[in-house]
Amino acid sequence: MTKRIEKNSLILRSRNVSQRISLVDTAFEHPTPDYRPGHLLVVPGVDTIPKGWRLVSNFDAGGSDVSVIVRVDEEALAPSSLRHPSIASDFHVHSGHSLTDTYVNSGIEGWPGNLANIFIGEFGEPAWVDRRTHAQDTVPGSPMSIRWERRDLLARTNIDAFQSLTITEGGPPPRVSEQASEGMIDTLTHLMLFSENALARGDGGKGAEVILWSIWPSLNGLSDRPEWSDLGNFRACLPEYGRSFRYLADYATWKIHQNHKALSPEWRIWIIPGHAWMARIYDDILGSAVPGLTKIDDLFQDDIHLNPIGEYAASLLVFTMLYQIDARTLNYMPSPDTIAPELDAYLKRVAWEVVKLEEAAGLGGMANSDKAFDPALHGDPLG
**What residues make up the domain containing 46?**
2-71
pLDDT at residue 36, rounded to an integer: 66
Those residues with Cβ within 8 angstroms of residue 224's Cβ, 6 or more apart along the chain or in another chain: none
16 pLDDT exceeds 90? no
CA-closest candidate to residue 240, choices 178, 302, 317: 178
Q: For the chain, what is the mean pLDDT?
A: 86
pLDDT at residue 108, rounded to an integer: 80
Nearest 5°: the CA angle 364, 16, 343 is 70
Q: How far apart are CA 305 and CA 332, in angstroms?
A: 24
Question: pLDDT (tens digit, 9 = 90+) per residue, 52-110?
Answer: 776 766 666 666 777 777 776 544 444 457 999 999 999 999 999 988 888 887 788 77
Rg (CA), the chain: 20
pLDDT at residue 8, rounded to an integer: 38
For 41, list phi and psi in degrees, rounded to 5.
Answer: -130, 145
Least confident residue range of 69-78, 220-229, 261-270, 295-304: 69-78
Examine the domain organization and report whether 84 and 18 are in the same domain: no
pLDDT at residue 12, rounded to an integer: 37
160 pLDDT exceeds 90? yes
pLDDT at residue 295, rounded to an integer: 97
Examine the domain organization and report whether 32 and 92 are in the same domain: no
Asked whether residue 125 is assigned to any structural domain, the reply reads yes
* Listed residues 71, 103, 126: the one ending a domain: 71
350 pLDDT exceeds 50? yes
* Listed residues 71, 88, 120: the one ending a domain: 71
Examine the domain organization and report whether 17 and 134 are in the same domain: no
In three-state secondary structure terms, 358 is strand
pTM for this prediction:
0.81
Q: How far apart are CA 316 and CA 122, in angstroms?
A: 12
For 210, list phi and psi in degrees, rounded to 5.
Answer: -125, 125
Of the two residues 43 and 325, the one the predictor is more confident about is: 325
Examine the domain organization and report whether 88 and 50 are in the same domain: no
* Listed residues 16, 37, 71: the one ending a domain: 71
Examine the domain organization and report whether 42 and 174 are in the same domain: no
Examine the domain organization and report whether 56 and 102 are in the same domain: no
Examine the domain organization and report whether 47 and 179 are in the same domain: no
How far does CA 366 lie from the centroid of its chain?
Answer: 13
pLDDT at residue 282, rounded to an integer: 97
Asked whether residue 381 is assigned to any structural domain, the reply reads no
Asked whether residue 31 is assigned to any structural domain, the reply reads yes
Per the CB < 8 A criterion, the answer to whether 356 and 159 are in contact is no
Q: How far apart are CA 103 and CA 187, in angstroms?
A: 23
Examine the domain organization and report whether 64 and 84 are in the same domain: no
Q: How far apart are CA 322 and CA 339, in angstroms?
A: 23
Q: How far apart are CA 265 and CA 78, in angstroms?
A: 10
pLDDT at residue 7, rounded to an integer: 37
Examine the domain organization and report whether 228 and 366 are in the same domain: yes
Q: For residue 135, give the CATH number of its domain.
A: 3.40.50.1110
Asked whether residue 378 is assigned to any structural domain, the reply reads no
Examine the domain organization and report whether 60 and 90 are in the same domain: no
Per the CB < 8 A criterion, the answer to whether 349 and 268 are in contact is no
Q: How far apart are CA 201 and CA 323, in angstroms?
A: 23
Asked whether residue 282 is assigned to any structural domain, the reply reads yes
Of the two residues 236 and 53, the one the predictor is more confident about is: 236
Examine the domain organization and report whether 170 and 283 are in the same domain: yes
Split into its structural domains, the chain has a count of 2
pLDDT at residue 170, rounded to an integer: 92
Asked whether residue 331 is assigned to any structural domain, the reply reads yes
Asked whether residue 310 is assigned to any structural domain, the reply reads yes
Question: pLDDT (tens digit, 9 = 90+) per residue, 103-158?
Answer: 887 788 777 889 999 999 999 999 999 888 999 998 988 999 999 999 889 999 99
Asked whether residue 382 is assigned to any structural domain, the reply reads no
Least confident residue range of 60-64, 182-186, 303-307, 360-364: 60-64
pLDDT at residue 31, rounded to an integer: 75
Examine the domain organization and report whether 200 and 65 are in the same domain: no
